[in-house]
Structure 1
């Protein structure tokens, strides 16, 4: 699982960098080009992207202390899935205006809820 810890630490750091880049693009490159409602959707995607990049870093750090914890590994994969489904669908919705993409967003939110619950479950073994 040390490889998993390394993977989630790297995924968290790379997602944090990507979230900052996409957030800056939204704030500077899309302002004035998107209507206010779509810009707000884009900002929500960026905000939650940052939160869950930090969540991935936390998974990686916990995995250093609990290298065989399967719930923790699942938590990390669900965090990544949530970034793609939630933030990814909102980024695309904002840029393309395709409202049907909003139907994908709750799947990402559900993945994140499951990820945080699995992290809580996994943490009980780490704190012993």
Structure 2
């Protein structure tokens, strides 16, 4: 239950940040900010959807991996635009790799079926 709330909260935050950063990129420029905003907006629905589903743990693990990757990737790009420095070396590529891996785990979760003991609606 707590994990579901964390995913929904994170998805809402990612969506809100994506909209705000899109506006910032449009008005103040910053290609990295625009890219981070796009990634936040693209991944927010996954986090909310998995948080709302009462389905298997594999989906939740995949969503958490995506979330970790999103934080690293977007965080690094935003640090470059707003602080003029990187989060740490290889943060963006590491985050991108985690996002890819997380989506693959989500795909596997879709094939593994219901593991909660309840039928998915």
- TM-score, normalised relative to structure 1: 0.76
2: CA distance, partners of 1:61 / 1:120? 17
Which structure 2 residues correspond to residues 1-128 of structure 1 after superposition, within 5 A?
2-28=1-27, 30-31=28-29, 39-62=30-53, 64=54, 66=55, 69-98=56-85, 103-124=90-111, 125-126=113-114
Unpaired runs of at least 5, structure 1:
32-38
Give aligned pairs, total: 115
Q: Closer, same or farther in 2 for the Cα pair 1:98/1:3, shift >3 Å?
A: closer
Q: Closer, same or farther in 2 for the Cα pair 1:100/1:115, shift >3 Å?
A: closer
Query: Matched residue of 1:15: which SS?
Result: helix
Q: Identify the residue that residue 34 of structure 1 maps to in structure 2.
A: none
Unpaired runs of at least 5, structure 2:
115-119
2: CA distance, partners of 1:48 / 1:88? 11
Higher normalized helix content (fraction of residues) = 1
- TM-score, normalised relative to structure 2: 0.80
List structure 1 segments (4+ residues) > 4 angstroms apart after TM superposition: 99-102
RMSD: 2.3
Shift of 1:23: 2.0
